Amino acid sequence: MASKGIRVEDRLTVLALFSGQYLLMAFLACLGIVQIAAARSGRRHLWLLRRCRSTTILGIVLLVSGMAYFYLIPLWVAGPWGPPDPADGTATWATAALETLPGVRNINDTAGGLSGHWQALWFLLAWIAAVFFARSIGRARHPLLPDDRRNHGEPWILASTRGRR
């Protein structure tokens, strides 16, 4: 049975559109958080840039740009956020207008929006990808440094502030 407002065949299209956009937003936001945490803790093997301050600024820019991308992309990419068709009430595919922007991401999961378990899955995958991306770039740019080495006698945690610079 089709949910009101969108045809059944469009649900997978909406889900694919949302999933890709959500995954990119979550990756950028998680990469930003990793950069901020790594800069504050002094873990240079996770830095994408060479200086602590620039790494922190990059993290803030990545975090904000991820959110801005997700919520502003309907202004340029067509999706199910057009005005409803008066004949049958189905959503029309169009770009969003600025005045309708606050409500365009409010699509029920039965109509192709992201349900909670999909959001959790995409967020987890984005977090893992962000950590591995930062680690691979950071290790290439900053070989293992003395204050990044793990001491065998003490526990190691990512957010340690012991070696902060």
Q: What is the pLDDT of residues 14-23, one digit of tens each?
A: 788 888 999 9
Strand partners, 79: 94
Q: Does 40 have pLDDT greater than 60?
A: yes
Is 152 domain-assigned? Answer: no
Number of domains in the chain: 1
DSSP the chain: -PPTTS-HHHHHHHHHHHHHHHHHHHHHHHHHHHHHHHHHHT-GGG-SSSSHHHHHHHHHHHHHHHHHHHHHGGGTS-BBTSPPPTTT-PPPPBPPPGGGGGGTT---GGGT---HHHHHHHHHHHHHHHHHHHHHHHHHHS---GGGSPPTTS---TT--TT--
Tell whether the model's pLDDT for residue 1 goes beyond 60. no
Q: Is a pLDDT exceeding 70 seen at residue 60?
A: yes
3 in a domain, yes or no? no
Identify the domain containing residue 24 by its residue range: 10-145
What is the mean predicted confidence (pLDDT) over 80-92?
A: 68
Calculated CA dihedral for residues 68, 70, 74, 80, nearest 10 degrees: -160
For residue 102, what pLDDT band results from cuts at 50, 70 and 90?
Answer: confident
Q: Is residue 67 part of a domain?
A: yes
User: Is 139 a domain residue?
Assistant: yes
Average pLDDT, the chain: 79
Higher pLDDT, 158 or 119: 119
Tell me the average pLDDT across 131-160.
66
Residue 163 lies in a domain: no
Specify if 82 maps to a domain.
yes
Q: Name the most confidently modeled range: 14-23, 26-35, 95-104.
A: 26-35
Strand partners, 80: 94
Whether 150 is in a domain gets the answer no
Residue 159 forms part of a structural domain: no
